[in-house]
Structure 1
C-alpha cells in the first residue's frame, strides 16, 4: 500500500530524528595552542564547582550554554582579537567563524533571516488558501511545499541559535527534504501529472516512491555510512539544478505562448536563487562579527519566496479560468 504524501513525510521525518547523532569536525582555530591553553585556563579558573564558579546568565542557561562552552566562546574572541592585532587572518573554530552572540544566539543574523524566510512561507501558505479553491488538484502539493519549507526554516533558525549535533542534522535533513520535494512537485505541475488519468496516476505513485526512497537513502548514507558535507552539498545542488531546469523550461514555454509578464516569474526566481546561492562560495569572515556569506544567502532567499507564491497563485487562477472557459464553450 502506497503512503499518501503527508504520511510519507511523517515517516521520513521520524526516520531522520531516530538517526540523529554523529561526529564533529575540527577547524584550524581548534588546533591553535593559544586557543587550547586559553580554554584550559578558563575552565580551571571559572568552572570548578568547588571554587566559586562564575555564574552563567539565565538567558544563556536557557539556551543550554555550559561553563566550558562559555570559556570556548570567550577564548575564540580573545584569540581572534590577538590575531587581528598581529595582522593574522581570522580563522574558524569548530567549523564556524567566531560570531558575536546576541541574547545567547550564536549566529543572530542567520536566525533573523531564517525567521524572515519562515514568515514569507507562512504568508505564502495563507495566500494559497485564500486565493486557490481547495478543489484545485495542485493546491495540496503547494500546501505541502509550504509546510515543508516552514519546517525547514524553523530547523534553520534553531540550528543557528545553538549549534549541536542534533540541531545541525535536523537543519541538514529538513533542508534536504525541502529541496527534494521541490524536485518532486515540479514535474507534476510542468507536465500536468495531477490530471486524473490512469497513466498519470501510476506515474505519480512511482515518482512518489522514487523520491521517498532517494531521501531515505540520502539520510541513511549520511548517518549510517559517512557524515559527508561535500556530498550533502553536491546532492542538494544537483537536485536543485534539476528542478530549476524544469521551471526555467516551463517559464520559457509559457511566456512564448502567452507573452504575459507573470509567466517569466519562475525564471526570475531561478536566477535570483542561483545568485543568492553563489554567496556561499565567498565564505568570508563575518563583518562586525555578525554578518557572513551564509546569513546573506538566507537574506537573499526571502524575495524569491514572495514572488514564487505570487506565481503559484497567478498560475492556478489562470488555469482555473481556462478550465471554466472550456466548460462554457462545451456547454
Structure 2
C-alpha cells in the first residue's frame, strides 16, 4: 500500500468496479437477451467498469496520462448515463411510431459529438478543471431530473415500491456529491472527502442495477400481456 498515493480512493473505486461487474452479471442473468434495452444496460456496465479502472490507476499514481484517462472515462460514464436515460424513459429503442428510430440515431450522433468535443477541448484547447466539473454536473443534473420525473410517474401508475427507487437513488447521489464540496485534512493521511464520495456511490450503484432488473422484468410482463 506504500506505493499507492491514495489507497482509500483506490479501494473505494475498486468497490464501485465490483458493483458494476456484479450488476453486469445480474443484467445478463435476469434480463432476457431479446429485451431491446439489455444492450444499453450492458454498455452501461462496461463504461462504468472502465471508468473505475481508470480511477484506480489515477489514484494509484498521479501522472498526466492517468489523470486524463480518469477524467475522460468519468466524462464518458456521465455522458453515457445521459445518453441511455431518454432512450429508456421515452422508449427510443422502439420502432413505433416511425419517428423513434430517427430520434435515436439523432440522439446517438449528438451524444457522440458532445463527447468528442469535450475531449477535444480539454486535450487540444485548454485543460480546464472548472469546465470539466461544470460539464459533468450539467449532464448529471439533466438525467437526475429525468429519472426523478420517471420515478414519480411510474410509482403513481404501478404503486410498487421499486418504482420509486430512481428518485431515492438520485437523492442519495446528490447527498454523496456533497462530499466533493467538503475540504478537510485526510483522516489518517488516507481518508479524504474525495475518497468518501467514491465510497458513497457504491450502494446506489448496486441499488440501480436492482432497479434496472425490476424495471425490465415489469416491462417484459406488460409486453407479454399485450401479445396475449
Please tell me the TM-score bracket, short chain as reference.
Answer: over 0.9
**Using the alignment, how far apart are the partners of 1:327 and 1:258 within structure 2?**
20
Q: 2:147 aligns with which of 232, 238, 247?
A: 247
Shift of 1:257: 1.1
Higher radius of gyration, 1 or 2: 1
Q: Matched residue of 1:137: which SS?
A: coil
Whole-angstrom distance in 2 between the partners of 1:226 and 1:277 = 25
Q: 2:116 aligns with which of 186, 208, 216?
A: 216
Find the counterpart in structure 2 of residue 307 from structure 1.
207
Deviation at 1:123, TM superposition (A): 0.1
Matching of residue 205 in structure 1 with residue 105 in structure 2: yes
1:166 aligns to 2:166 (yes or no)? no
- Report the equivalent of 2:170: 270
The residue aligned with 1:144 is 43
> How far apart, CA to CA, are the structure 1 residues paired with 2:2 and 2:43?
33
Q: Which residue of 1 aligns with 2:88?
A: 189
From 174, 198, 202, give the equivalent of 1:298: 198
Q: Quote the offset at 1:196 in angstroms.
A: 1.5
Report the Cα offset of residue 290 of structure 1. 0.7
Q: Which residue of 2 aligns with 1:67?
A: none
2:82 is aligned with 1:179: no
Q: Residue deviations 1:98-148, cap 9 Å, x none?
A: xxxx23000000000000000000000000000001100000000000000
Do residues 115 (structure 1) and 25 (structure 2) align? no
What is the Cα deviation at residue 288 of structure 1?
1.1
Aligned pairs, number: 227
Tell me what 1:66 maps to: none
Cα deviation, 1:170-228, whole Å, max 9, x if unaligned, reads 00000000000000000000011111233100100000000000001011111111100
The alpha carbon displacement at 1:285 in A equals 1.4
Q: Which one scores higher on RCO, CA 8 angstroms, separation ≥ 6?
A: 2
Structure 2, unaligned runs of 5 or more: none
Distance 2:6 2:100 in 1: 45
Q: How big is the alpha-carbon RMSD for the aligned residues of Structure 1 and Structure 2?
A: 0.6
Output the TM-score relative to the length of structure 1: 0.68
Extract structure 1 runs of 4+ deviating beyond 2 A.
none
